[in-house]
Structure 1
Amino acid sequence: MEYSHSDDELIRQPIGYWSWAAFKAVVTYIREGLSEFGLSQPQWWVLNQVHDGGEDGRTRAEVRAVLQGYLDVGTALEPEIDALLERGLLTTTAERLRLTPEGRALQARAADHQVTMRGRIHDGIPDEDYVATLKVLQRMIHNTNGHAWHH
């Protein structure tokens, strides 16, 4: 890959633009991949949280609490949870959300696809460069008094 500018020019480029452009490209790619399974990104998050709850599943409040810790989702998850229940991918018993067999199968297929998509997103990027990039972004968040789940 060729970069758009020399290093001397890149050093003056605005991080706000490049972080936004990367966010937009990556999130669009992920959402398109999930749509192949009929899932929105928030539905994928919910399926994973319920999956990670094991046989006991999780309550709506537990799912919201985990996701609210690093995403700005507010009450937007409620219609996503309801849609998964209506599709028969989740069931609820004693206020605990659990994956149905269909939900478990879909979560597993989508998880495999996520691994493939992650591979494409990370293609040509050595692990040490990826880690360095995350550390730089975390430092910029810190420097601007921002908040992220890593704090």
Structure 2
Amino acid sequence: MEYSHSDAELVRQPIGYWSWAAHQSVVTHIRAGLAEFGLSQPQWWVLNQVFDGGADGRLREQVRSVLEGYLDVGDTLEPEIDALLERGLLVSGEGARLRLTDEGGALRERAAERQLQMRARIHEGIDDDTYVTVLKVLQRMIHNTDGKAWHH
């Protein structure tokens, strides 16, 4: 890959633009991959949270609480959960606990495999040390600007 500028020029580039452009590109890529399974990104988050609850599943409130801890989910989760219930990927059982159906579990497995493939593509040409450094730099910038992120 050729970079758009020399290192001396890149060091003066605005982080706001490049972090936004990276976010847009990566999220678009992830959402396109999930769409192959008829899933939105919030639906993917919900399926994983219910899966992480094990055989007991999770209450809606638990799913919301976990996701609100590190994502700006706003009012998007309730309709996404309802859509998963309507599709038969989740059931609401005893005590209103959400559980994956067999179909939901199988779809989650296929989508999880696709997520691993997408992650590999996104990380192609980036070694782990460089990736960790980038995350530390971004976390520091968030800290320096009094921002909020789940790492705090």
Question: Normalising TM by the smaller chain, what interval?
Answer: over 0.9
Post-superposition Cα deviations, 1:73-128, rounded to whole Å, max 9, x if no partner, equal: 12210000000000000000121000000000000000011000000000000100
Residue 151 of structure 2 corresponds to 150
Structure 1: gaps spanning 5 or more residues? none
Compute the TM-score of the two structures, normalised by the length of structure 2.
0.99
Residue 48 of structure 1 corresponds to 48
Residue 79 of structure 1 corresponds to 79
Residue 133 of structure 1 corresponds to 134
Runs ≥4 residues deviating over 6 A: none
Residue 101 of structure 2 corresponds to 100
Residue 121 of structure 1 corresponds to 122
| Identical counterparts, % of pairs | 74
Matched residues in 2 for 1:72 and 1:27: separation?
14
Alpha-carbon distance, 1:33 to partner: 0.2
Superposition pairs of residues 10-49 of structure 1, within 5 angstroms: 10-49=10-49
Structure 2: gaps spanning 5 or more residues? none
Task: Report the number of matched residues.
Answer: 151
Matched residues in 2 for 1:44 and 1:24: separation?
18
Matched residues in 1 for 2:4 and 2:68: separation?
36
In structure 2, what residue type is equivalent to 1:86?
E
Residue 3 of structure 1 corresponds to 3
Matched residues in 2 for 1:74 and 1:6: separation?
41
Secondary structure of 2:126's counterpart equals coil
CA RMSD of the aligned region, Å? 0.4
